[in-house]
Amino acid sequence: MDGPLIGKSQQVRASGSPVAGTQSVRRALAVLRLVAKYRDDGIRLVQVVRESGLDRGTAYRLLSCLVEEQFIDRGDDSRYYLGPEAVLLGSLLPRPTSLLTRFLPVLRRVARISGDTTFLMMRQGDYVFCLHREEGSSQVRVLTTNIGQRRSLGTGTGGTAVFELMQDSEIQAIYERHEIEYADMGLTLEQVLRMAHEVRRLGYAEVYESFDEIGTVGIGIAFRIGHHGMGAISLATLTARLSKERREALLELMRKELRELGLRE
């Protein structure tokens, strides 16, 4: 039997410079991402305004256009949900993607050797996106992030590991665009920048979290893919299972896997 489970804008290119003349498109995509983020419970106009930073009129016009084009639906409860066109586009994505095909053997090997849960996180604008999660054989599985879930940069292990590849100026710009979200998580700009400096110093991220009073820890290493792509592979386990010696061995295992993919020196 399976063991217990633990867990629960304006977009810019990875280079930091937005494509000129595309503000309306970016705003519409930002709104669509927000609706996708709250796809289960839906999202109200007031929440779109608060999280996007758009004024009410602009947010309403963008939502109305997306409804007309059937990318989102407006429910009887006045909440917005993903619509049939968005679902159709998602269904057209090849399964598995070439990127996932490349990383699956890596995630499975690390999960098999460690017995712990491994994750592939890819940067998506101001967030990281969980492309895949591979569960290990440990009796207690630490499932801190779900496949398809987006997390803010600087949160979670993968989202923190990516800071190694980013400049302070870019991190600050992202923080300022999402200051309300970070403040709600109790994170100041100074704390976020300190995390980035520590990740660059160490060459990996180490993030501690607690679920139902059970301590968990994640370790992750970032990589570049292509000219602008960034991502990270990470591992989550119980704090009690991660001794200093085991941490170093698992980090070296992940580095070795990334080197063999040509993604780390």
Residue where one domain finishes, among candidates 61, 90, 119: 90
Q: Are residues 53 and 108 in the same domain?
A: no
Instruction: Specify whether the CB–CB gap between 165 and 230 falls below 8 A.
Output: yes
Rg over CA atoms, the chain = 19
Which domain covers residue 35, as residue numbers?
Answer: 23-90
Q: Are residues 153 and 123 in the same domain?
A: yes
Using CA atoms of 140, 240, 198, 230 in order, give the dihedral in degrees to the nearest 10.
-20
Q: Are residues 221 and 111 in the same domain?
A: yes
Stretch 221-236: mean pLDDT: 90
Stretch 92-108: mean pLDDT: 82
pLDDT digits (tens, 9 = 90+) for 47-73: 999 999 999 999 999 999 999 998 999
Q: Are residues 110 and 84 in the same domain?
A: no
- In the chain, % of residues over pLDDT 90: 65
Q: Are residues 144 and 189 in the same domain?
A: yes
pLDDT digits (tens, 9 = 90+) for 133-176: 999 998 778 888 888 888 999 999 999 999 999 999 999 999 99
Q: Are residues 62 and 128 in the same domain?
A: no
Q: Tally Cβ neighbours within 10 Å of residue 263.
A: 19
Q: Which of 153, 160, 143 is nearest to 181 (CA)?
A: 153
Q: How many whole angstroms from its chain centre is CA 265? A: 24
Q: Are residues 133 and 216 in the same domain?
A: yes
Q: Which of 11, 42, 40, 12 is nearest to 27 (CA)?
A: 11
Kindly report which listed range (4-8, 26-30, 204-208) carries the lowest average pLDDT score.
Answer: 4-8
Q: Are residues 77 and 202 in the same domain?
A: no
pLDDT digits (tens, 9 = 90+) for 102-116: 999 999 999 999 999
User: How distant, in Å, are the alpha carbons of 33, 36, 121, 144, 155 from that of 151?
Assistant: 12, 13, 9, 11, 6
Instruction: Specify whether the CB–CB gap between 185 and 122 falls below 8 A.
Output: no
